[in-house]
Copies of this chain bind each other. A is one copy, B any other.
Amino acid sequence: MAYDYSIYLVTDRSSMSTMTLCEAVEQAALGGCTMVQLRENGISSSEFYYLAKEVKKITDRYGLPLIINNRIDIALSVDAAGVHIGQKDIPADAARKVIGQGMLLGVSVSDLQEALRAQEAGADYLGVGAMFPTKTKKDAKIVPMEILCTIRQNIRLPIVAIGGINRENAARFAELGVDGLAVVSAIIAQPDIRRATEELKRAFDSVSGKPEA
């Protein structure tokens, strides 16, 4: 199955205003978001599980793949489309063994070595970043555009860029040949989430031209 990574929403409840997470995800879906990653810290496994079940009702309704950050067990228990792991999570090869071949495996990387290792370990796509400093992940290492470019040239997997991406800089990433933009604040912290998603999509698609679609 081919996935559309172009507008990849990563959730963050602390960045949100008055809406519930489900309402925000629905607005993003209406605006053309193509994938949703549920990223939660500091809540119990039970809360994470029930939240994931709720969000999955929305993503299912709009035909969007739901990806769970870090917690493979939550992904398995809610039958999510995939799991996304960072360098401090269960190693990619071990994760692949647990989820099998049927579930998407995304891996966060910040240099070419990590990217090659993740590809080797069986990742389905890579998240590269943080591209810019970002409030939602203050300790994130910054990846120079040049490194993103090198990763793109050496990796055959789909790549989404993450970290401080918005409609102003979206085109630069499309020009580099990445498959998608993973965003938190540029969608979820906006007063009009649907419109913010549409604008981001327009900025990205105008350059990428979706040649593989």
Contact = CB atoms under 8 A, between A and B. Distances in A.
Interface residues of A, number: 23
A191 B73 CA distance: 36
Contacts of A78: 94
A113 interface: no
Contacts of A72: 73, 76-77
A76 B94 CA distance: 9
B98 A77 contact: yes
A24 B108 CA distance: 35
Of A46, A71, A73, most B-chain CB atoms within 10 Å: A73
A61 interface: no
A45 B77 contact: no
A110 interface: no
B46 A74 contact: no
Interface string A37-61: 0000000111101000000000000
A204 B73 CA distance: 35
The binding surface of chain A is classed by DSSP as helix
A90 B70 contact: no
Interface string A74-85: 101110000001
Contact of A77 (B44, B47, B70, B95): B95
Interface string A118-158: 00000000000000000000000000000000000000000
Given A46-B89, A73-B90, 12 more contacts: A44-B88, A45-B70, A45-B88, A46-B88, A49-B94, A71-B73, A72-B76, A74-B90, A76-B98, A77-B90, A77-B95, A78-B94
17 contacts: A44-B88, A44-B89, A45-B88, A46-B88, A46-B89, A46-B91, A47-B88, A49-B90, A49-B91, A72-B73, A72-B77, A73-B95, A73-B98, A74-B90, A77-B95, A77-B97, A78-B94
